[in-house]
Amino acid sequence: MLDGIESGRARLLLPPLVRLVPVLRVLPAPVFDAVADLLGINTSMAHFTGRAAPIARTGAGGDDGARSP
């Protein structure tokens, strides 16, 4: 999904299951949770790792580039 947004595409295709989720919300919460577990919705992001945090760069001696008057 993010690739579509970042590339500026006008249309983004999503899996058909995405359209089913709002319909399933009318079910009682325990039933919805069981269906979500069955479909793998609750574990779909379990192994996701985002981008690594940028490494702060400093010059020799801890100089961060800031200058004092």
pLDDT in tens, 1-59: 567 667 766 676 778 888 888 888 899 999 999 999 998 888 888 888 888 888 877 76
Taking each helix axis as running N to C, give the angle between helix 16-24 and helix 29-39, from 0 to 180 degrees, rounded to the nearest 10.
Answer: 160
Q: Show Cβ contacts of residue 24 under 8 Å, excluding neighbours closer than 6 positions.
A: 32, 35, 36
Q: What is the pLDDT of residues 52-69, one digit of tens each?
A: 888 877 766 555 555 555
